[in-house]
Amino acid sequence: MIYGQLVIGPPGSGKTTYCHAMSEYLQGLGRKVAIVNLDPANDVLPYKPSVDVSHLITVENVMEHIKLGPNGGLIYCMEFLEKKVDWLLDELQKVKDCYLLFDCPGQVELYTHNQSVQKIVSTLLKSGFMLSAVHLVDSHYCCDPAKFMAVLLTSLSTMLQLEMPHINVLSKADLIEKHGKLHFNLDFYTDVLDLEELVSLLSDDPFLVKYKKLNVALKELVESYNLVSFHLLSIKSKECMSKVLQAADKANGYVFGVNEENRNIQNMLSCAMSADFEDAKIADIREKYVSMDTESGQGYISQGR
């Protein structure tokens, strides 16, 4: 079995930084790890990839020779990689004894509309790769109710399209209040249990008030699937890195494997039962990076949802 994480998310959400930081974190734990660069637009990388799609194709070359723009060029590259997936499988043989981190491109349509990434993933899963998707989204979107609604919809459609074990992550949590105060407590954004108040906030916006019915329908759509929730991540926090790793290991099955020293019965049980208190998942970020009072004056106390 080859275990790993498919690191996806919109442009600039922190995928490359996460792959680098997570590989160092894993090496610190004694795990053998390799990074696979699947982004044909990545030219300067902070890490040394063990497998690199730019040896097969780059966006720059496609733009020059096929006269496509950057978005079209990237779609072309991923469709090309889909056709040449045997190249990828051969390359991955070189790192078959490692835990893999796939650094993916950021274009959102690759995960919500275009089928190439989904087909590549499906081939990897059928070939014995045990992968979880780690979907990063910039956490500052939490400050704007309309943007947070858009994040929920993108996360949901990505989960449905990729059809693989999936964890959603609000990245750069150390900057969560960079563009304004949060309207609700942190667990409102991480647990996504009741969006009624989000819809009320959207209706307060004079520009959005005419879309009230649409917003209610979107809220009901997200709630009816009951799939989306988030972990918080700042790469500066070891505690966050550990929580995200724990969730990804549980999703891809690594924690239930049998071969390695660090897979002991305690790890398995704590992961299987989510032994952490729910509140501990957000405590580090809340204490360090969120102001005492939310905009609605509800402060630290959970709203009892």
Query: Nearest to residue 70, comparing CAs of 80, 56, 54, 59?
Result: 59
Q: Which residues share a beta bridge with 101?
A: 5, 35
For Mg ion, which stretch binds (CB under 5 A), given 9-17, 143-151, 248-256, 290-298? 9-17
Among 2, 4, 5, 15, binds ligand GTP (CB under 6 A): 15
Which x/- pattern, by CB under 6 A, does the window 29-48 give for ligand GTP?
Answer: ----------x---------
Q: Shortest Cβ contact with ligand GTP: which residue?
A: 106
The footprint of ligand GTP on this chain (CB under 6 A) covers a number of residues equal to 16
Residues whose CB is less than 8 angstroms from the CB of residue 162 and which lie 6 or more positions away in sequence, other chains included:
6, 8, 111, 117, 118, 121, 133
Strand partners, 8: 135
Residue closer to Mg ion by CB (options 154, 294) is 154
**Which residues, 195 to 254, sit near ligand GTP by CB under 6 A?**
234-235
| 235 contact choice in ligand GTP, Mg ion, none (CB below 5 to 8 Å, kind-dependent) | ligand GTP
Residue 14 engages ligand GTP in binding (rule: CB under 6 A):
yes
- Interface pick for ligand GTP out of 11, 28, 70, 180 (rule CB under 6 A): 11
- Based on CB atoms, which residue is closest to ligand GTP, 17 or 215? 17
Task: State yes or no: residue 106 binds ligand GTP (CB under 6 A).
Answer: yes
Rounded to whole angstroms, how far apart are CA atoms 55 and 86? Answer: 14
Neighbours of 41 (CB within 10 A): 19
Residue 171 binds ligand GTP (CB under 6 A): yes
Residue with tokens 């699937």: 225
User: Minimum distance from CB of 236 to ligand GTP (Å)?
Assistant: 6
Find all residues with CB under 8 Å of 221, minimum gap 6, and list them: 153, 156
Which of residues 5, 16, 155, 215 is near Mg ion by CB under 5 A? 16
Residue 261 or 287 with smaller CB distance to ligand GTP: 287
Based on CB atoms, which residue is closest to Mg ion, 15 or 135? Answer: 15
Closest separation between CB of residue 301 and ligand GTP, Å?
27
294 touches Mg ion by CB under 5 A = no
- Measured from the CB of residue 107, what is the shortest distance to Mg ion in angstroms? 11
Chain residues in the site for Mg ion (CB under 5 A): 15-16
Chain residues in the site for ligand GTP (CB under 6 A): 9, 11-17, 39, 106, 171-172, 174-175, 234-235
